[in-house]
Structure formats: structure tokens, C-alpha cells
Amino acid sequence: MEKSTFTRLIQEADDILEFEKFCFSAKENPLLLLRFPKNIEKHFRNFCFESDKYKNILFIIIGCFFYNIFAVMDKLMINDIYPLAWKLRFLVVTPMALSVILILKKTKKPFIMDSLLTFLLLTGIICIFFMVNISQSEFVSHYYVGVFVVCTAGILVYKISLQYKILFSLSAVFLHIPFFYFNQTIPFEVKINLFAVSVSLIIVSLLSAAERELNYKKAFVYGLIQEITKYSLKRKNKFLENLSNKDELTGLANRRFLKQHLKRLITQTGNGIFPIAVLFTDIDDFKKYNDGYGHAQGDECLKKVSEVLNSNANRKFDLAARVGGEEFILLFPFTDKKDASGIANKILKTIHHINIPHEYSKVAPHVTISIGVSFIDIDNQDIDLALNQADQALYQAKETGKNKACFYS
């Protein structure tokens, strides 16, 4: 069982929790393996479907070979009707088996494979019963042994689900009723003996098939448990990584990730990204907002402002980050002074239009922001220097009235 298959199965699963809950329950209580939930049963059948399909095709080819070799026994044991027996072998059952092979090669659905093989096996049993019933040969009771072979192959050899094996077994048992009723050649005691042997053989074969399927399911569940554990660990590590790179409240990048992003841009992307506009943003009079409306409302204000900022950082390498309580930094590669001015003015207008009330502000009756802008270019690639320059430009915007953007000069 390839782990890559388990990985793909886990990644494509609709409900990992359902898988996880069942797998760990089945590990504690193996009886749950007797019947998988519908969704897990579907994945289990699909898991081995391709290999099972080609094994079944091989088994059909081998079965057809021996089935037709046994045409010699028609001549020896049911000599009175062997021409009819040969017609059934070569003109009915064999072409049907070849048709099943062709369909199996194209199908991608396990239930089609199970249905076709069950039908083919039952056809073989019906043909045997038919020939046994119409032959008057003294050896006809020995010909019945073919039923043993078909039942054993159907239950133990062919790769079909346990449910279909049970269906096939019950059908094989019930087919004995017309055999008993119509056959006048075989003595009643012999019929009873043949039936008892058939039922015993079917029960033993089913028990063996059930044990084998349980072992397959157990291996499948253990493989899933290992993959679920690995997947959960990856998910946990990714969550922890997100915590270290993202601001928990706003979902924006944090200062740590901002610097990492800038370093990658400069070292990996090359000179084509310059100039990089750095917009240092601060919410005006935010302490008064928090004191007046409360911290819960303050958090909502931060979220709304961060949404505006993030919506403007929408190109591939743009980035919006929260670097302090009410402070944000935005990065815009390939952005000169003219474009940066347009972006800053757009942000200021959007903040104005969302109209978050701020009755404690001395700037406006709604929330406003101030922006300081600096640039990183080919001649100045010092990240800390650029951030400091943007901070100085922000200070200038604050000192000259707020609710504006100022450029470092």
C-alpha cells in the first residue's frame, strides 16, 4: 500500500474528522471493521480498484482456459448431451467472459466490476445445473462437482467486495431449489449430500474471505491513521507558522514576515522590482477611540481599516502588515512616487467613505489615517533605513494636521 495514495486520499477527503474518528475507534474496537461507513467504504474500494481489476481480468483469462479444457469432461461424463454442453461453453459462457474483460478494462466503478463478475459466476453455475438436469448419464452426479469449483473461485479467488460474495453465495444456494425439484436422475440422498457439501464449502470459503477482507481493512485503517497523524502534525506546524508570520487580530502579515518578504524581494527578484514604495500608516487619535468606545470596538475598527489596506495591496508582491497597535506598513514593488501618491490618496478616500464614527477625534467626525511614504531603490536597499524614513514621513504627516500622506525627503 503506497503512502502517496493515502496522502492523496486524505487531501481529497471531504471530512477528515469523520476519517479520524472512525479510524481511531476501529483501532480500539476491530469489530467496527466488519462494516465501514459508506464514505470510507467507497474510498476503501477505490483504493485497490485498479490492481483488483487487472487481477480479475487475469483470473478470468485463466478461468476461461481451464473452463474450455474441461470440455473433454463433457464428452466423458455427459456423453448424451455434450454437443449442447460445448455450445454453452464456447458460444455462451466464453464470449460472455470476453465481453466482461472488455468492460472491466474501461470501467472505473467498483460496483460495475462486482456486478459483472457475480453475474458471470452465477451464469457458470446455472449452466452446470442445466446440463446436470437434462443429462441422463450415469456419471452426471460427478459433473456437479463443477459447482464446487465455481463457488470456491467466486468467493476466494476473484477480487470482489464481501457484500457481493455473500450475495453470490446466497444465490448459489437458492439455485439448488430448481435443481432438486427438476432433476430426476440423481438419487435424493446424493442430492442432499451434494447440497450439504456445497453449503459447507460456501460457509468455510466465506469465513476465509471475511477474515482476509478484515485484514485488508485493518491494514487500510492503520495506513490512514499514520497519514492522518502526519497530516495533523503538518496542519499544526502550519498553524504555528501562521501564528509567527501573521497578526492574529487582522490576519495581515506581522513585522517579522514583512522584513522576510522585503529581503526575499531584494535578493531573489532582482533589480526589476525597484523602486519599492513603503507606506507607513497610523490611525489618527486611536487611543481616544479606544478610551471612548472600548477595546472591543477598537478591535473592530482595526479590522475594518486593515481590510481597506489589504484590498489595496492586491498585486503579486504587494504586502500589507500590522506592525504595532494601530500602525500598518504597506509594500508596493515597481511603484514610483507618482503611483505611490495615487495609492495613498485612494486609501485615504476609502477610509473616508467607510465612515467609521469617531466623535473623539480632533481631525474629523470619522476615523482617519495618516501615511508616511519612503522608497527602497537600487542605490538604497537598506530595509531598516527605509522603514525609519517612512516613520519620519508619518511623523511629519501627524505634525502637519493628520489625515494626509507625506513623502520622506
Q: Is the pLDDT of residue 28 over 80?
A: no
How much is the average pLDDT of 346-355?
96
For the chain, the domains span 3-229, 255-407
pLDDT the model gives residue 6 = 59
CA distance 275 to 374: 10
More confident residue, 281 or 241: 281
Summarised one tens digit per residue, pLDDT across range 44-73 is 888 788 889 999 999 999 999 999 998 998
Q: In what order do the strands lie in the sheet with 405-407?
A: 319-322, 327-332, 276-283, 369-376, 405-407
pLDDT the model gives residue 352 = 96
pLDDT the model gives residue 241 = 67
Summarised one tens digit per residue, pLDDT across range 144-203 is 899 999 999 999 999 999 999 999 999 999 998 888 788 888 888 888 999 999 999 999
Place of cell 526589476: 272
pTM flag (> 0.85): no
CA distance 30 to 191: 40
Q: Is the pLDDT of residue 13 over 60?
A: no
pLDDT the model gives residue 209 = 93
> Could you give the percent of the chain with pLDDT greater than 90?
61
Paired sense of beta strands 327-332 and 319-322, if any: antiparallel
pLDDT the model gives residue 3 = 46
pLDDT the model gives residue 109 = 92
pLDDT the model gives residue 236 = 56
Work out the pLDDT band at 90, boundaries 50, 70, 90. very high
Residue range 255-407 in CATH 3.40.50.1370: no
Exposure string of 275-304, with b = 16+ CB inside 10 Å and e = fewer, is: bbbbbbbbbbbbeebbeebeeeebeebbee
CA distance 62 to 305: 72
CA distance 42 to 253: 41
pLDDT the model gives residue 328 = 98
Q: Is the pLDDT of residue 2 over 50?
A: no
pLDDT the model gives residue 17 = 63
Work out the pLDDT band at 36, boundaries 50, 70, 90. confident
pLDDT the model gives residue 222 = 79
